[in-house]
Amino acid sequence: DQQVKQNSPSLSVQEGRISILNCDYTNSMFDYFLWYKKYPAEGPTFLISISSIKDKNEDGRFTVFLNKSAKHLSLHIVPSQPGDSAVYFCAASAKTGANNLFFGTGTRLTVIP
Amino acid sequence: EAGVAQSPRYKIIEKRQSVAFWCNPISGHATLYWYQQILGQGPKLLIQFQNNGVVDDSQLPKDRFSAERLKGVDSTLKIQPAKLEDSAVYLCASRARPRGTVNTEAFFGQGTRLTVV
């Protein structure tokens, strides 16, 4: 039962253009959403998060948008750089209960120079 | 601030052998997670500790996997006996308590890549 879904396993974007990574979730109790970036042979590193009381959070080139009614969030990277090439994981949690962190299956982003 | 430390980085064992992984979380983080990440998939939660108590181990194959977190700090995850399908990266993460209404991010170690042959 996959509560967090990333339906695009891969994405290729030209350097300088926008990268948009998408994520859907099924559990309406989720109230905190995160994006992690993972390079080969390293653990996931935290990138950006958003609370369910917001619909947008921005940090430099990275912006996360949350659409609660659609149970959908997206990560925008503008402009994309070759160093952004990695696997991106969407994650979600709910402060009620155990506050587990559930992950999607990841999207491999390739930024072409 | 030191990050989450895990050891070993790599381990190769034969099926039916046993193996143990160690994790030292970020100082002061009450929550500790062990995840299993199979190639091409997202991290799957195995067990969650809050201090030294288990909060959720519903996904832990308890016939072969065990974990403990002594004194609410370091943690070990053990597999005995290992199966071929246990080949994966085992990730440890720690997380501070939510600050009022604001939840917190989890920080991950580099992981242990286990190969069972």
Residue range B54-113, pLDDT digits in tens: 999 999 999 999 999 988 899 999 999 999 999 999 999 999 887 776 788 999 999 999
Phi, psi (degrees; rounded to nearest 5) at B42: -80, 165
Q: For position B101, what pLDDT does the model report?
A: 67
Structural tokens at position B51 = 């201090």
Q: For position B103, what pLDDT does the model report?
A: 81
Residue A96, pLDDT > 80, answer: no
Residues of B in contact with A32 (CB under 8 A): 103
Report whether A23 contacts A73 (CB < 8 A).
Answer: yes
Structural tokens at position A28 = 């309406």
Contact B42 A101 (CB under 8 A): no
Report whether A1 contacts A101 (CB < 8 A).
Answer: no
Residue range A41-87, pLDDT digits in tens: 899 999 999 999 999 999 999 999 999 999 999 999 999 999 999 99
Q: Is A15 on the interface with B (CB under 8 A)?
A: no
Phi, psi (degrees; rounded to nearest 5) at A7: -85, -10
d(C-alpha B117, C-alpha A78), whole Å: 44
d(C-alpha A94, C-alpha B8), whole Å: 32
* Mean pLDDT for the stretch of residues B11-25: 97
